[in-house]
């Protein structure tokens, strides 16, 4: 939306930086709609690559066609990014100094994934510090896979509850429990907190 685009531009200007790459966690409209515009915010107005997990690439011709409701008029028409690339299933330097590793986690969509990083972190929620460290720490963009006290819905086209349970088990067993989770919606959390209190994750781990 225009409000979110404004906030992104505000942060870029405040930090004195430009966009080096655009990472799309999955192909739902609320996560990709402004990607084409954001990709033009490179240095001196250059266009930068947009990365998306390969299984969701088919959605990018018309993301809204895979949802039961039409996007609201105020978001404007869909524009497909001009430099759309498949996200490698390994560690990759998306832009100089920014390394991420993709962990496929289907269930919400076929291409849903977590993106792991390891660096100093300053996470704020409603302008309040959730976590800050000058030392490198493990963190993950958990997208619409894992939220605080919840998980991504599986009842839309491409969703699969069995795959989601498998993804949740894999995430909870493979990642460092101290990993800071930054979801696509809602507040940040930690994997340890979710293993302890997220009933969806607890159930997935129990079913095995």
Domains in the chain, ordered, with CATH? Answer: 1-87 (no CATH), 89-208 (3.60.15.10)
> What Å distances lie between residue 162 and 105, 138, 168, CA to CA?
11, 27, 10
* CA–CA dist 201, 208 (Å, integer): 11
pLDDT (0 to 100) of residue 131: 81
* CA–CA dist 191, 48 (Å, integer): 32
* CA–CA dist 183, 202 (Å, integer): 18
pLDDT (0 to 100) of residue 122: 86
Give me 109's structure tokens. Answer: 């969509």
Give me 19's structure tokens. Answer: 């966009």
pLDDT (0 to 100) of residue 70: 76
| Nearest by Cα to 95 from 134, 57, 48, 135 | 48
Q: What is the DSSP letter of 198?
A: -
Predicted TM-score (pTM) of the model is 0.91
- Residues 87 and 53: beta-carbon distance below 8 Å: yes
The residue behind tokens 């894992």 is 146
* CA–CA dist 59, 44 (Å, integer): 30
* CA–CA dist 118, 152 (Å, integer): 24
Each residue's pLDDT, cut to its tens digit, for the chain (208 residues) gives 555 788 889 989 999 999 999 999 999 999 999 999 999 999 999 999 999 999 999 999 999 998 877 777 777 899 999 999 999 888 899 989 889 999 999 999 999 999 999 998 888 766 777 788 889 999 999 999 999 999 999 999 999 999 999 999 999 999 999 999 999 999 999 999 999 999 999 999 997 5
């Amino acid at each position: 939306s225009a409000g979110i685009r404004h906030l992104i531009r505000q942060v870029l200007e405040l930090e004195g930086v430009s966009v080096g790459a655009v990472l799309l966690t999955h192909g739902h409209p609320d996560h990709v709609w402004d990607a084409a515009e954001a990709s033009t915010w490179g240095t001196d107005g250059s266009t930068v690559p947009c990365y998306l997990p390969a299984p969701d690439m088919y959605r990018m011709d018309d993301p809204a066609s895979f949802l039961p409701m039409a996007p609201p008029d105020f978001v404007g028409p869909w524009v497909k990014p001009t430099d759309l690339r498949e996200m490698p299933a390994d560690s990759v330097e998306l832009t100089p100094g920014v390394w991420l590793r993709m962990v496929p986690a289907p269930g919400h969509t076929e291409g849903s994934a977590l993106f792991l990083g390891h660096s100093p972190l300053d996470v704020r929620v409603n302008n309040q510090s959730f976590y800050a460290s000058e030392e490198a720490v493990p963190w993950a963009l958990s997208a619409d896979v894992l939220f605080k006290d919840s998980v991504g819905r599986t009842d839309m086209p491409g969703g699969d509850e069995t795959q989601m349970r498998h993804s949740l088990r894999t995430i909870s067993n493979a990642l460092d429990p101290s990993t800071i989770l930054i979801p696509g919606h809602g507040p940040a959390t930690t994997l340890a907190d979710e293993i302890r209190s997220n009933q969806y994750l607890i159930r997935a781990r129990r079913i095995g």
